[in-house]
Amino acid sequence: MAKHRSDPALVRACLRGEQAAWDAIVDQYGRLVYSIARRYGLVDADADDVFQNVFLLLHRTLERLRDQTRLSAWLITTTHRECWRVGKKSDRYPELDERIADVGTPDPVDADRWERQHLVREGLDQLGGRCRDLLLALFQGGETPSYDHV
């Protein structure tokens, strides 16, 4: 199992030029960025552009990132802005303004919730095996599972 590094540790490692740290950031947050782009209804090519642009912006601004512990919140906000920018410059999305209204401006509470969910998923992935299965059985569904089920 790979050793987990905190976001600030990964950012510092990236600033030292460690490619593995950059790869870890992209691996950890890539699905989040892509899922936001797809939530806007962007086609695959545009969602890919958003993904690429967000991580390019991150790479360019790593040194100036104010709070390295809030990396996921920065990525969420930047992804929303980039989705809007990509969608507005394309004639494929005449209804984008309605979609933006539906998706809404990223609420800090939502960003915190997404960040916590990401951290929980990340922690579960690190556990793996029976421990992960047990926690999912106990807490994932709405009903409390029977003792026999667990």
What tens digit of pLDDT does each residue of 23-56 get?
999 999 999 999 999 888 888 999 999 999 999 9
Task: Go through the domains of the chain in sequence order and give each one's CATH number.
Answer: 7-106 (1.10.1740.10)
Give the predicted TM-score (pTM) of the model: 0.65
Q: Which residue type occupies 24?
A: A
Tokens of 11: 């950012």
The per-residue pLDDT for range 90-127, each reduced to its tens digit, is: 666 556 555 554 555 555 556 566 666 666 776 777 77
Say how far apart CA 35 and CA 113 lie, in whole Å: 15
Per residue in 73-93, pLDDT (tens digit) is 899 999 999 998 887 776 665
30-33-34-35 Cα dihedral, nearest 10 degrees: 120
